[in-house]
Chain A
């Protein structure tokens, strides 16, 4: 178990990176607390796996340092880091039995035979593999194989951290819920530092205490699920998390007033307006905090359609040629074509070039 520190870390897959765009991972400095359960969330190709491989030692970063409990590990190979990693697609040793597959990481590290046996049986029990321990691993189904991969990641009792790289991709949905619950439980029981890479927000939000949202090689926000929901630090976090995502509206700022076309919105004292405005000024508000009213009670908008997604209905409106989604409270009356929208001011955020405008920032 260890506290993992990333210092000025950046990585490029090119030999001589020239500018920002050549970096798969832009410069970052972060601390991952000992015993934390982190989810790395972001769309495909945003650098999640790169970051994971740098932590586990499969990749040496172009610049910066990786520290475990203050010790510089940047150039240490994976064997020396004592880290477990589970990959997206099943990796099993075909010629071995399920038992030997699970025992492999322990035997390579010269664990006592009795300890090996105890750990293997524990992990097999947890993953429901006990009755298959003696079978050859080669002819099992894909999700069974992935469970073995998962088991190999969990079998070592003394690891500094366990890294999961979208481990449940090949597992069927029902099993996914079960395994995710078990991983969460495991984290509670053993308090390993866990990093879980995924592009599925539900998976990230249910698994992790802290979610690290990545976008184009940058960590845009680290926060609890509530923080990501309440106060997205970047417009990307706003619409990547939440269903439907946050409404992001282009606007014009004049003093403490925001203009959406010819419609005016007063900002609260809590909203920070920097002296130098960014090139792109936007307002963000979650659909949960948008109320659909009669035309004269809010900003005039046109109702396009209503989506019924089962648990609730989503009104799709256009306000000054920009799309706005609003979640309708249960049993609420449907407004007519012309309607008004009201934004709850305390949940309205101002973004400069994508980043949340905050005091002191």
Chain B
């Protein structure tokens, strides 16, 4: 039978190609364009090669921002993941409590980023904010505009308040999908509460936790709005995370080449780390692996 070549199918993928071009490819290429060239305005470009990249990779300012970023993401993962699981475990499994808890949990997620920032900005103020005023009247010195530690505590606390719910909801969904028979079997086998968590609940919610960790990592690594609203990256540059710093370079200093190079490095770091997280956490364990005994 003669094979008929039909190229019309290409037209069917055309819409997708166009959307991807306009939403991802063209903007990205614009950034690449700036990263390898220099411009003084007027649409005139000069080839710069790897100059901007070398510049960024050697700047201590970038290193500092990067470490701050890692510290921030690490901290919020360490707090939000266990906390989210604990909250999910203690949520009711049936009855009127379920919808009430779910709505309460969903509320922080529905608030826009800049509003969250504003809430905490006021909440933490030492003069009129409940938190700032209360902490200070307890004799603890707290002021996020002058003290780096206070600023960090505020930003981390704000993120925990805003995003732990996401982990809770994911973990709760995972827990709900465990058949009742597992708990019954565990009771028959005389398993302790800890053993039930360790051997039934945790393995069963492992997959959703992977997703939770990935989402929280990527999101926190790109955090911008909240710290910008609350601390503006300060005091000094104490809370200048990568995005905050990037915007300062791009818009504050109008240093487009350096900002573009930094964007690309930033993007590659997130991509690489997400890939590492994902591979490590979903790695299929070797079947013949010798465990326990």
Contact = CB atoms under 8 A, between A and B. Distances in A.
Given A91-B182, A99-B292, A99-B293, A108 B188 contact: no
B15 interface: no
Contact of A152 (B189, B198, B202, B293): B189
Contact of B289 (A79, A83, A136): A136
A245 interface: no
Interface in A76-117: 77-79, 83-85, 87-89, 91, 93-97, 99-100, 104-105, 108-109
A332 interface: no
Contacts of A58: 184, 187-188
A135 interface: yes
B185 A108 contact: no
A56 interface: yes
B97 interface: no
Contacts of A89: 179, 181
Contacts of A83: 188
Interface string A37-65: 00000000000000001001110000000
Contacts of B179: 89, 91
Interface in B69-127: none
A134 interface: yes
Contacts of B41: none
Contacts of A57: 187
B195 A108 contact: yes
B247 interface: no
Contact of A108 (B182, B189, B287, B293): B189
Contacts of B182: 91
Nearest to A109: B190
Interface residues of A, number: 32
Contacts of A99: 292-293
B174 to A, nearest CB: 13
Contacts of B190: 78-79, 105, 108-109
Contact of B187 (A78, A96, A135): A78
A136 B288 CA distance: 7
B176 interface: no
Given A94-B203, A96-B199, A87 B181 contact: yes
Contact of A94 (B184, B204, B288, B290): B204
A139 B287 contact: yes
A105 B292 CA distance: 15
B192 interface: yes
Contacts of B181: 87-89, 91
Contacts of A95: 198-199, 202-203
24 contacts: A53-B184, A77-B187, A78-B187, A84-B188, A87-B181, A87-B184, A91-B182, A93-B199, A93-B200, A96-B292, A97-B292, A99-B292, A100-B291, A104-B189, A104-B199, A108-B189, A108-B192, A109-B190, A135-B287, A135-B288, A136-B285, A136-B291, A138-B285, A152-B189
Interface of A: 53, 56-58, 77-79, 83-85, 87-89, 91, 93-97, 99-100, 104-105, 108-109, 134-136, 138-139, 149, 152
Interface of B: 179, 181-182, 184-185, 187-192, 195, 198-200, 202-204, 285, 287-293
5 A-B pairs with least C-beta separation: A108-B190, A91-B185, A105-B189, A100-B292, A93-B199
